[in-house]
């Protein structure tokens, strides 16, 4: 493995456990804590429709959870990540998906892709290395291929493991000259409805032990999920905690 930066080592330490799969083994995670994450995966996944056999690269795939969701469709998915530990988890949950342990600054893949998905990854890169990484990702895209990228917004506090968060303008300038944004929107809205959602989830934690005892409690958990989808899942880029952009190659 290439030498990791201090921030990358913090991310690597989190891969002692495949935490993105918790909802598969815990109903509480699926119905309460995992609502935002699973909705985020669904939003990105829907940007790849219609599923007609495309070859898709999950760049910075981590433990492969997005690959796990995407492989259910009529597509072929490939994952790449710097962390061998994360890729070992990815292979365990996705034995039918092809994975590579590679530094994206030195990317050597045997395919050209219809889509590259760079989900919650750009903020982990040393800024000085980003131009080379974007050039490499552009080189593995087909001529008419698209980059789907998601990043945290500057509206979200910067954790120690991230180098930067982004504005719409900052993301656009970072992607140049290799990609041009053709569509951009926000995910995970802020505002008073988020406070409502937080309180609903707190009530859900209290009601969770009774989830299988009454129909009204079961309906409450469905209501929480629907509330998030309808009110918080997406929004204006300046009113959200994250950004999602669809990009095309510029050269």
Question: Nearest-CA neighbor of 234 among 73, 51, 44?
Answer: 44
Q: Residues for the chain: how many in total?
A: 251
- Angle formed by the axes of helices 215-231 and 35-46, to 10°? 50
The answer to whether residue 126 is domain-embedded is yes
140, 57 in Cβ contact below 8 A?
yes
Is 216 a member of any domain? Answer: no
Tell me, yes or no, whether 226 lies in a domain: no
Query: Structural domain tally of the chain?
Result: 1
Per-residue confidence (pLDDT) for residue 34, from 0 to 100: 85
Cα-trace Rg, the chain: 18
Q: Is 201 contained in some domain?
A: no
pLDDT of residue 190: 97
The pLDDT of residue 205 is: 86
Residue 102 in domain: yes
Domain assignment present for residue 199? The answer is no
The answer to whether residue 225 is domain-embedded is no
Sequence-ordered list of residues with C-beta below 8 angstroms from that of 68, at least 6 positions apart, any chain: 21, 93, 94
Predicted confidence at residue 12, as pLDDT, reads 64
Structure confidence at residue 1 (pLDDT):
45
- 17 lies in which domain range? 6-189+233-249
Chunk the chain into consecutive blocks of 10 residues (it has 251) and report each block's average pLDDT, rounded to whole numbers: 61 71 75 85 97 97 96 97 94 97 95 97 95 97 97 96 96 96 97 96 88 86 93 97 97 75
The Cα–Cα gap between 166 and 147 comes to 17
Residue 85 belongs to a domain: yes
- DSSP E strands, the chain: 55-59, 76-81, 98-101, 113-119, 141-152, 179-189, 234-235, 240-249
Q: What is the pLDDT of residue 147?
A: 98
| pLDDT value of position 129 | 95
CATH number of 174's domain: 3.40.50.150
Q: What is the pLDDT of residue 139?
A: 97
Helix (H) or strand (E) holding 240: strand 240-249
């Amino acid at each position: 493995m290439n030498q990791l930066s201090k921030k990358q080592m913090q991310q690597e330490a989190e891969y002692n456990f495949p935490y993105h799969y918790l909802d598969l083994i815990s109903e509480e995670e699926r119905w309460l804590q995992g609502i935002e994450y699973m909705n985020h995966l669904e939003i990105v996944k829907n940007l790849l429709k219609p599923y007609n056999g495309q070859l898709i690269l999950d760049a910075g795939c981590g433990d492969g959870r997005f690959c796990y969701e995407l492989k259910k469709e009529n597509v072929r998915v490939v994952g790449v990540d710097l962390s061998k530990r994360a890729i070992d988890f990815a292979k365990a949950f996705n034995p039918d998906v092809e994975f590579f342990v590679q530094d994206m600054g030195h990317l050597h893949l045997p395919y050209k892709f219809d889509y590259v998905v760079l989900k919650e990854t750009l903020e982990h890169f040393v800024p000085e290395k980003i131009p080379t990484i974007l050039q490499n990702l552009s080189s593995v895209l087909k001529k008419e291929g698209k980059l789907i990228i998601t990043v945290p917004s500057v509206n979200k506090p910067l954790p120690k493991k991230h180098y930067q968060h982004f504005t719409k303008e900052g993301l656009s300038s970072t992607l140049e000259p290799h990609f041009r944004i053709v569509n951009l929107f926000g995910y995970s809205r802020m505002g008073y409805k988020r406070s409502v959602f937080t309180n609903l989830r707190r009530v859900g934690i209290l009601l969770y032990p009774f989830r299988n005892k009454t129909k009204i409690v079961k309906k409450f958990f469905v209501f929480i999920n629907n509330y998030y989808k309808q009110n918080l899942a997406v929004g204006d880029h300046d009113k959200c905690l994250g950004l999602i952009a669809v990009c095309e190659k510029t050269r």
